[in-house]
Structure 1
C-alpha cells in the first residue's frame, strides 16, 4: 500500500495534541453526532475537508466541494487476544469507523470516527480511501468475511471461517497469494508478536506500540519524506476516544512503515 499523507487540516481532540500527533495550533475539535455518517457529513467537517483537499494548492478551497459517499465501515485491527491464543478470540477487533470523502477533482480521503461520550466524532482525515476500499474488496473476495488489518506490516486481509485471504501486496508477502488457514495465521502472528503483548517484558521496556519489522533501520531513510507524508498511528484515534489502551503491540509502528515506503517510492 502506498504511503498516505497526514490529515493536515486536522481535526481532533486535545488528546492528539498531548500525544504529539498534531501541533496545538492546528488542532480542531469537530462536532459530535448520533451516528458516524452524521459526524462525517456535518457542515463543519465538510469545511475542514475543503481545507484538507486544498492543502497543496492544487485545488482552491472554494472549489473543493467535498462530499461523503456511502455509509461508514468498521475498521478492524489484529487483536492481541487472538495473538495470545485466548479461547474464542476473534482475529481482529473494531477500532474506529471510516467514511469515504471525495473532492470535486476526484481526490479521496478517509474520515475516521470514534465513539465519544457525547456521540460519534471525526478524529482524523487520511489521504486515500484504503479503509473503505479494502472493506469493499474483501466483500467481493470472500462475501460475508471479516476484513482486518495487521498494522505492524501494513497488510490487509479478509477472514471467514478457517480461511484467511490477502487483500494487498503486503498480505501476499505474509501469507502467499492463495492465503492461509486461520490456525496457521495465528501461529505466524503469535511467533512474530507473542512476546510483545501488553504486560510483556518488551512492553514494560516501553517498546511495545512501536514494533515494526526493521523499525530502527527504517527511521533514517524515511526522515527526508516524513514531514509531508506521516500519518498518525491508530493509537491516536483510540486514545482520543477514551477507549483505553489499544493493543500495545500494534499501531504506532504503522507510521514508520508508511514513511519508509513513501521515501522509497518517491
Structure 2
C-alpha cells in the first residue's frame, strides 16, 4: 500500500515539475518574442504591405535619383512669401541639386487613405471597404534639411505602378498616415484637413480639425460619421448645383487613377507649399485659386 502511495506522490511531483517547466518555457518564449520581434522582421525580409498594390514600384520611386533630385530642388527653393499678385519666378536648374545639402534619406511610403465620394453621398454602406479608399502614398524625410522637412507624394500610374505627384512642405501627412497599426486604418477628410483612426467601425480623431469635425466627441460610429460628412458635403459633390455654379470644383479624391508623370516642376507657395509635377515651364508662384478642400 505504501509503495502504491509513494508511486502516486512521485507521479504527481513529476507532473507538477513538468507543468512548471512548460510554463517557464512559454513565458521565456513570450519574453523573447516581445524583445526580438517576429523572426521575419529584419529590414531585408519584411513582407511588402498586402494592402498597397505595386508597393515595390513605390519603393523604387522614392529611392530613385530623379525623386531625390526633385526633393533637393524643392529644399533649395525658398518658400515664396510674396502676395498672390507677386511676380512669377523660375526655379533655377542645378546640375547637382543635392550637392551641399545635409544628408537625408526618403522613408518608405505609407498609405494615404481618404473618404470616398460614395460614402459622402450616402450611397455606400458604412463599412471600411466602402468608406475608405487608398488615393496616394506619402513619404517623409529621415531628417530635417536646413530646418525644413518635406513630404513626397506618389500617385498611381495608369496601368500599374506609382509616380511622383508632388513634394510638399512639412511632414504632417506622412506623420499621421504612419499612425495606422495592425487592425486599424488611418484616413483623412481632406476638406478640413482632419485625420482619423478607424478601429473596426469606430472613428476616433487624431488632430484638432478632426475633433472639430466630430463636434468635440472622442469617437463616433462609422455610421454616425457618414451622417456628418453627408451633411457637410453631399450637396457639393461634382455635378451638384454648388459645383456647376462655380462655387467649388466639387468633392473629389486627391488624385485620379489616370494621373501620369511629367518632367517639369511647379512650386506653389503659401500654406501647404508643394512642388508639383506640371506641364509647361518650371515656375515659382503662389496659387490664386480659392481652396475647395
Which structure exhibits the higher relative contact order, with contacts defined as CA atoms closer than 8 Å and separated by 6 or more residues?
1
**2:124 pairs with 1:92:** no
* Structure 2 unaligned regions, length at least 5: 1-54, 80-97, 252-267, 280-289
Bigger radius of gyration among the two: 2
Kept in 2: contact 1:51–1:61 (CA 8 A): no
**2:207 pairs with 1:168:** yes
Alignment CA distance shift 1:127-1:46 (3 Å): same
**2:162 pairs with 1:157:** no
Kept in 2: contact 1:163–1:180 (CA 8 A): yes
Alignment equivalent of 1:112, drawn from 141, 153, 157: 153
Residue aligning to 1:76:
113
Alignment equivalent of 2:220, drawn from 170, 177, 180: 180
Alignment equivalent of 2:75, drawn from 42, 45, 53: 53
Compute the TM-score of the two structures, normalised by the length of structure 1.
0.61
C-alpha distance after superposition, 1:181-236 (max 9, x if no partner): 1111111111111111223222222334367xxxxxxxxxxxxxx94435469xx8
Alignment CA distance shift 1:67-1:103 (3 Å): farther
Q: Quick check: which one's helix share is greater?
A: 1
Alignment equivalent of 1:229, drawn from 265, 271, 276: 271
* Structure 1 unaligned regions, length at least 5: 1-32, 212-225, 241-250, 255-266
C-alpha distance in structure 2 between counterparts of 1:252 and 1:39, whole Å:
29
Give the paired residue count: 189
Kept in 2: contact 1:98–1:113 (CA 8 A): yes
Of residues 145-154 and 99-108 in structure 1, the stretch that sits farther from structure 2 once superposed is: 99-108
Compute the TM-score of the two structures, normalised by the length of structure 2.
0.56
How large is the Cα RMSD of the aligned pairs? 3.2
